[in-house]
Structure 1
């Protein structure tokens, strides 16, 4: 079934959590399938950092004909987030107040702002209830935040390789990437390609956090009698930087890294634990055993404090990127959870009674 691409436009001023505002917003989004008469077949997919609304391209293993989320049965929605590069209002968009692109003048956008924009699109599409909301990494941060802002909206919540609060470790990685962009001599300019060389270096840094030691040992193994530029790890890092530079911009990269840093579901809500306990959705949390950026203790913490949550671990070579690569394993995990929901069984309940709270600072 063919995907449909559309734009939603709101001419009203869009207030932002950190005090700024956008004069108006545009959201690019993709839908697959049809909303049924009961309006109970909605699957909303939240995309990750440099992802797009074209979920059928980047999550083919999970979304599509004959897949776990099949447009023949589901109405699938994926929206490009504010600040991104793929058609929603972002730094390269024209500011209606000046008639020029925002560039460096684009305001700070948080996860909560993204979810509030989703609310506008949801109402525009006539969606009263979301059957399943799923997201990994930055997308998981959005899905979790939405389940707290609108606790009666999402029936089934699937959180993959994500967290309740972005860690100092994750923030440090993001700041290192922003520093790479800032030292690009073009970064201070107001032009579409500003900072692009710095972004290449930033992407190379990010990739190390998305994978791990074992991944590189196998996928970028040294070949006999090679050195210098012919080393596979060197060419791979440079290739990934060039690849992103061909499809993204440094302004969006910078803004979205700060958006990820903004993740703290307990902000102005009485703390993280209180916020997580307000989640009413039936929740599956999936962690990746080899994830270095969003380590598995963060998913354990989510599952311990979200009422009735189930928790599953995927063993993948690919670290954090496993949530994009291991579609077969994730499909098995989600299908098992769906089966257990029908049987009203949570096999992990006893496990979390014994689980030590490792992130004590999150429990404020």
Structure 2
């Protein structure tokens, strides 16, 4: 992992100023002399910058995003807890998707990258992809927003708010103790899993085969997912980043999402998941319909929203057939 520190003041949309902006990032492969082989990956909510690890089978030597041919960059968003700037006052801090994209742009300048052949990401990462394509149209050639939307849906804002309520109900969240808010974070993650998966997926993988009257497999699974996130993430970052997702609205101050999408010049492949409860397919179809050079593809899966992380072979096939990979 590399770390970029920018001592220039960084002013958030809220008006607050960050001094010593820090962005953690990974790069893979070698930048060509002409700089024309850059692929930038944007990670999801609790992801990090090590895309070759969490997108195995898609990123790496010989993979579709072939690091023997391409120069691949993935940066951790500010507000996360994986090396980029963190915010101690989670409840009093608003870091928007636009703020995070501007931090990426600071890193792009630092790396002296003048052209991004492909910008790709899913979920929150897809929000960054869309925002960046609007912010720097002369830099971004092609984009692949996956399982995302042009504006965060009230349905998802409500889900995120409920998860933050779970964190707020944990009295340790308001302390400086190590692991502050851990129980609330575990509950929030368990709630989120119901949006990331589907009823069918739970029936296929968590069905109880006996006639027990307690301790069901699906209950154990929820507790396991909560514990697993607590081991690698923290409540402050989760609180901040769910608010970041809620801020996403391409059309804010720009005349509406449709008008903004119609101005996107990048070649666009919008990918939806047929079983996605978090970002239903019409959201990705809307992106493809509005963007002048847009096309739409569907990822078939019973896994729900997380299918873009689970079914990398299916995703690779869609990307390869589309011809969008440089």
Give yes or no for TM over 0.5: yes
8 Å contact 2:91–2:239 — kept in the other structure? no
Q: Which segments of 5 or more consecutive residues in structure 2 lack a partner in the other structure?
A: none
Aligned to 1:10: 6
8 Å contact 1:21–1:107 — kept in the other structure? no
Q: Is residue 220 from structure 1 mapped to residue 216 from structure 2 by the alignment?
A: no
Q: Is residue 86 from structure 1 mapped to residue 86 from structure 2 by the alignment?
A: no
8 Å contact 1:192–1:249 — kept in the other structure? no
8 Å contact 2:90–2:240 — kept in the other structure? no
Deviations 1:288-311 (A, max 9, x none): 000000000100111111112010
Aligned to 1:360: none
Deviations 1:198-237 (A, max 9, x none): 01000000000000110101011112223311x1101000
Q: Which segments of 5 or more consecutive residues in structure 1 lack a partner in the other structure?
A: 92-101, 343-364
Q: Is residue 146 from structure 1 mapped to residue 132 from structure 2 by the alignment?
A: yes
Deviations 1:309-341 (A, max 9, x none): 0100111011000010111111111111117x9
Aligned to 1:248: 233
8 Å contact 1:174–1:257 — kept in the other structure? yes
Please, what TM-score do these two structures have when normalized by structure 1?
0.87
Separation in 1 of the partners of 2:116 and 2:72? 10
Residue 185 of structure 1, CA deviation: 1.3
8 Å contact 1:81–1:88 — kept in the other structure? yes
8 Å contact 2:44–2:123 — kept in the other structure? yes
Separation in 2 of the partners of 1:193 and 1:90? 15
Separation in 2 of the partners of 1:161 and 1:104? 26
Aligned to 1:195: 181
Aligned to 2:243: 258
SS at match of 1:130: coil
Aligned to 1:326: 311
Deviations 1:234-290 (A, max 9, x none): 100000000000000000000000000001000011111111111110000000000
Question: How many residue pairs align between the two structures?
Answer: 326
Separation in 2 of the partners of 1:192 and 1:85? 14
Segments of 4+ moved more than 3 angstroms = 103-106
Considering only aligned residues, what root-mean-square deviation do their CA atoms show, in Å? Answer: 1.3
Looking at CA atoms only, which structure, 1 or 2, has the larger radius of gyration? 1
Aligned to 2:22: 26
SS at match of 1:123: helix
Aligned to 1:178: 164
Please, what TM-score do these two structures have when normalized by structure 2?
0.97
Separation in 1 of the partners of 2:296 and 2:23? 33
Match of 1:168 among 141, 151, 154: 154
Match of 2:300 among 290, 310, 315: 315
8 Å contact 2:90–2:239 — kept in the other structure? no
SS at match of 1:303: helix
Separation in 1 of the partners of 2:228 and 2:90? 23
Deviations 1:8-64 (A, max 9, x none): 001111100122221221111000001101111001000000000011110002101
Separation in 1 of the partners of 2:178 and 2:267? 43
